[in-house]
Amino acid sequence: MDLKEKLVSSFLAFENQVDVDSPIHDVRSEAIKTFEEKGFPSKKEEAWKYTSLNTILKHDYSVFPKQENALEFSDVKKYFIHDIDSYKIVFIDGKYTSHLSQTTHDSMDVCLMSAALAKPKYRLVIENYFNKIATKDSLSSLNTAFSSEGAYIHIPKNKLVEKPIQIIHFATGNESAVMLQPRNLIVVDENSHVQIIERHQSLTDNPVLTNSVTEIYANKRAIVDYYKVQNDNENASLIDNTFINQKQESVASVHTFSFGGKLTRNNLNFFQNGERIDSTLKGVTIIGNKQHVDHNTLVHHIEPNCESHQDYKGIFGDSATGVFNGKVIVNKEAQKTNAFQANNNILISDKASINTKPQLEIFADDVKCSHGCTIGQLDESAMFYMRSRGIPEKEAKALLMYAFSNNVLSSVKIPEIKQRITKIIATKLGVKIGFDL
């Protein structure tokens, strides 16, 4: 039985576990139908031209992981940004684990999707926001159909959340292969500010497939700062679908750091539903071996006077492949839009490859839109300069690559994350220098 059939038939089993009378269940039933119709995307679809899911779909994933899998904090401490105080929502094999987490209901809600879906006091928010901006493509629909657990964050008006929120998903691999479908909902009301860090980590050599959907609502003048750290092991694959709806004068930024995983696909979608909005999408990708990272971004400018900034850097070694597919749509009404998109890549091996497609679709005339894209190598004269001053080849290379990705790092607002990323980059490049020269 292939994975699609398996998923469709396990939906019946899933119905036994959840409350089928809630209005959410209609959404789920609708979604499974959409998935059944469309199936997994194939390379024939334009958006999946350069990424094939075939190799990761052939495993026999268990859709409902066994219930309890305990982890000791000391074993997984290194996956947290542990040197800062933060709220934590931690899941092990898709199940919430309270002893690693730190949630709150004190003047805001940082808690669980399962609770939010079940309890009446969240009903209004769920009705207004759940599955409202996620697109109806097959993978998001699949997630919607099985949506039951994930992070639920609701920040009310005029609230500055002092500490960041970490959302971490662990896969323990006690099963042979596991498929996880976390569903996150983040609502940030007027004038509020929040910082969120998301990470998916597999602790096993068994294959793990995560198909995650995150919906983020940044209301009037809200500030949302989101970091995705993707440094998973090489049997773990991630399909991340993130949808961000922005209201007027809100500021949202998403930084994606992709260093690991077998296949990583980031579908990042921004919808600007208001004036004077600012959106930032940045990413650093450094991969090797046979890894594959695909960034698929969309910024939809719907109203006037908005800005968007995209900056993706990629370094590809060994037989790694990279894909960047960035799309900017400017509606007819969205005059005075400022949209900027850049994608720079370095290939450091003969077998590595990169496919990039920066797209602009513009229907308004009074706009400034530009995109730039480059593929190149490390500058030999710069290498020579450093080597002639006694810096070994490896370190010199690492320095250049770090400098190359520094543009993205410089806008990271949590210093601890910046340090952590710098460290990961150093490990990735196999050097012991700290770059804080």
Partner 1 sequence: MSKYTEDDLREELKTKEYEYGFYTDIQSDTFPVGLNEDIVRAISKKKEEPEWMTNWRLESYRHWEQMIEPEWANVNYVKPDFQGISYYSAPNSKPKYDSLDEVDPELLETFKKLGISLDEQKKLAGVAMDVVIDSVSVATTFKKTLSEKGIIFCSISEAIRKHPELVKKYIGTVVPQKDNFYAALNSAVFSDGSFCYIPKGVRCPMELSTYFRINQAGTGQFERTLVIADKGSYVSYLEGCTAPSRDENQLHAAVVELIALDDAEIKYSTVQNWYPGNAEGKGGVYNFVTKRGLCETNAKISWTQVETGSAITWKYPSCILKGDNSVGEFYSIAVTNNFQQADTGTKMVHLGKNTKSTIISKGISAGKSQNSYRGLVQIHSRADNARNFSQCDSLLMGNECGAHTFPYIEAKNKTAQIEHEATTSKIGEDQIFYCNQRGIDTEKAIALIVNGFSKEVLNKLPMEFAVEAQKLLEISLEGSVG
| Parallel, antiparallel or unpaired: strands 307-316 and 193-202 | unpaired
Q: Is 386 in the site for partner 1 (CB under 8 A)?
A: no
Q: For the CB of residue 136, give the shortest distance to partner 1 in the complex, in Å.
A: 21
Q: Which is nearer to partner 1, 26 or 361 (CB)?
A: 361
Q: Is 266 in the site for partner 1 (CB under 8 A)?
A: no
Q: For the CB of residue 374, give the shortest distance to partner 1 in the complex, in Å.
A: 5
Q: Using CB under 8 A, which of 45, 55, 376, 427 touches partner 1?
A: 376
- Give the interface segment with partner 1, choosing from 144-152, 202-210, 288-296, 343-351 (CB under 8 A): 343-351
Residues in the chain: 437
- Give the interface segment with partner 1, choosing from 69-77, 99-107, 375-383, 424-432 (CB under 8 A): 375-383
> Taking the CA of residue 123 as centre, how many other CA atoms within 13 Å lie in the half-sphere pointing to its CB?
5
Place of tokens 């066994």: 66
- Give the interface segment with partner 1, choosing from 24-32, 68-76, 203-211, 371-379 (CB under 8 A): 371-379
Q: Using CB under 8 A, which of 8, 84, 177, 360 touches partner 1?
A: 360
- Give the interface segment with partner 1, choosing from 8-16, 107-115, 221-229, 355-363 (CB under 8 A): 355-363
Q: For the CB of residue 278, give the shortest distance to partner 1 in the complex, in Å.
A: 20
Q: Is 357 in the site for partner 1 (CB under 8 A)?
A: yes
Q: For the CB of residue 230, give the shortest distance to partner 1 in the complex, in Å.
A: 23
- Residue 396 DSSP one-character state: H
3-state SS class at 209: strand
Q: Using CB under 8 A, which of 364, 386, 400, 433 touches partner 1?
A: 364
Report the alpha-carbon angle 116-119-125, nearest 5. 50
The pair of structure tokens assigned to 121 is 């006091």
The pair of structure tokens assigned to 337 is 């839009």
Q: Which is nearer to partner 1, 376 or 415 (CB)?
A: 376
CA 73/CA 88 separation, integer angstroms: 12
Q: Is 338 in the site for partner 1 (CB under 8 A)?
A: no
Q: Is 366 in the site for partner 1 (CB under 8 A)?
A: yes
Count of residues engaged in binding partner 1, rule: CB under 8 A = 36
Contact 338, 371 (CB under 8 A): no
Q: Is 47 in the site for partner 1 (CB under 8 A)?
A: no
Q: Which is nearer to partner 1, 16 or 377 (CB)?
A: 377
Please list, in sequence order, all residues whose beta carbon lies within 8 angstroms of the beta carbon of residue 388, skipping any fewer than 6 positions away: none
Contact 224, 188 (CB under 8 A): yes
Q: Using CB under 8 A, which of 349, 382, 403, 415 touches partner 1?
A: 349
Q: Using CB under 8 A, which of 372, 415, 430, 434 touches partner 1?
A: 372
CA 355/CA 322 separation, integer angstroms: 6
Q: For the CB of residue 328, give the shortest distance to partner 1 in the complex, in Å.
A: 9
- Give the interface segment with partner 1, choosing from 109-117, 119-127, 154-162, 364-372 (CB under 8 A): 364-372
Q: Which is nearer to partner 1, 141 or 344 (CB)?
A: 344
CA distances from 170 to 75, 208, 304, 371 (A): 12, 10, 42, 37
Q: Is 85 in the site for partner 1 (CB under 8 A)?
A: no
Q: Is 297 in the site for partner 1 (CB under 8 A)?
A: no
Q: For the CB of residue 269, give the shortest distance to partner 1 in the complex, in Å.
A: 18
Please list, in sequence order, all residues whose beta carbon lies within 8 angstroms of the beta carbon of residue 254, skipping any fewer than 6 positions away: 226, 227, 228, 242, 244, 268, 280, 281, 282
* Gyration radius of the chain's alpha carbons: 21
Q: Using CB under 8 A, which of 46, 85, 106, 380 touches partner 1?
A: 46
Range 345-365 burial, b when 16+ CB lie within 10 A, else e: bbbbeeebbbebbbeeebebe
CA 218/CA 190 separation, integer angstroms: 8
The pair of structure tokens assigned to 16 is 């036994």
Q: Using CB under 8 A, which of 354, 409, 425, 431 touches partner 1?
A: 354
Range 8-22 burial, b when 16+ CB lie within 10 A, else e: beebeebeeebeeee
Question: What is the distance in angstroms between the CA of the first residue and the CA of the last residue of the chain?
Answer: 55
- Give the interface segment with partner 1, choosing from 34-42, 134-142, 258-266, 359-367 (CB under 8 A): 359-367
CA 422/CA 416 separation, integer angstroms: 10
- Give the interface segment with partner 1, choosing from 4-12, 70-78, 83-91, 362-370 (CB under 8 A): 362-370
Q: Which of residues 156-215 bind partner 1 (CB under 8 A)?
A: none
Q: Percent helix, strand and coil across the chain, each rounded to 5?
A: 25, 40, 40
- Residues of this chain that interact with partner 1 (CB under 8 A) are 46, 50, 332, 335, 345, 347-377
